[in-house]
Amino acid sequence: MVGKEFLTLAMNIGEQMLVSGAEVNRVEDSITRLCRAYGATRVDVFTITSSIVVTAQFKGGSTVTQTRRIYNYRTDLDKLDKLNNLSRYICDQKPDLTYIKRELEKINESKTYSILVQHLSYALIAEAFTVFFGGQLVDAIVAALIGALLKWLISLIQKAKINIVFVNLLCSFVVGILAELSVKIGVGHDPEKIMIGNIMLLIPGIALTNSIRDIISGDTISGMLRLCEAIVLASFVAIGFGLASAFFGGI
């Protein structure tokens, strides 16, 4: 059935958009437009942060329903941009399903930034925020080194498929310990400035922004779920750094 096969492709696109950082309204609108471009007379899409449910009725009376469970996210705005462009091209040109499959595979297999670039980015961001919040040059250098180490630690822990909440807790605790140690041995000057530079790497900014956008656009359930998720993640980041400070305070 063409309707069923196309809906699978539309769901693949919508799923990858949501995983890559798209807001709910964008995902629902894209799936709806894709299905209507290929003959759907009615499309009902329900999306939250962890699930996508689509029912599409095609010409001839056939009705197809599919559900996708979303387990994790990986913010990739370049991939999201490519998926947006592909969606627009599909709606405009209506290519065959083989072409859509091939292009979607290319997007999923496209290379991301190298490990070196990712580590350097973490280091630069940590360094910049440390200076921004009043840290000295030596604090910025220490924050940069810890930021690069943080990226390595996140990649290592994620291979074990640990819940993101505990990843943030563990990473923030380790970063806090390293910041305090750097000052204890006389390398750093202000542990709080070093910590705050690295805190910005763990704050769920995109989740918080998308939650507000979802609420404003009327997707209240999804927006509240994202908001709660962002608050929980931020809270565990604060707890991790707090435990590190308390540990050295106790010593």
3-state secondary structure at position 85? helix
Q: What is the pLDDT of residue 154?
A: 85
In the chain, where the domains are located:
2-109, 115-250
Taking the mean position of all CA atoms in its chain, how far away is CA 8? 23
Name the strand (E) or helix (H) holding 65.
strand 63-69
Q: What is the pLDDT of residue 187?
A: 83
Cα 30 to Cα 34, 210, 225: the distances in Å are 6, 16, 21
| Helices and strands, number each (H, E), in the chain | 10, 3
Comparing CA positions, the residue from 96, 71, 76, 82 lying closest to residue 30 is 82
> What pLDDT tens digit does each residue of the chain (251 aa) get?
467 888 999 999 999 999 988 888 889 999 999 999 988 889 999 988 888 999 999 887 788 999 999 887 778 888 999 999 999 999 998 998 899 999 999 998 887 778 888 889 999 999 999 999 888 889 899 999 999 999 888 888 877 777 788 888 888 999 899 988 888 888 888 888 989 888 888 888 888 888 888 888 888 888 898 899 889 988 999 998 888 888 876 54
Q: What is the pLDDT of residue 249?
A: 67
CA distance linking residue 81 with residue 106, whole number of Å: 14
Q: What is the pLDDT of residue 2?
A: 60
The dihedral through the CA atoms of 15, 18, 22, 27 has a sign that is positive
Q: Count CB atoms within 10 A of the CB of residue 181.
A: 16
The dihedral through the CA atoms of 198, 204, 209, 212 has a sign that is negative
Q: What is the pLDDT of residue 31?
A: 94
What is the pTM for the complete model shown?
Answer: 0.78
CA distance linking residue 53 with residue 224, whole number of Å: 18
CA distance linking residue 42 with residue 35, whole number of Å: 9
Q: What is the pLDDT of residue 12?
A: 93
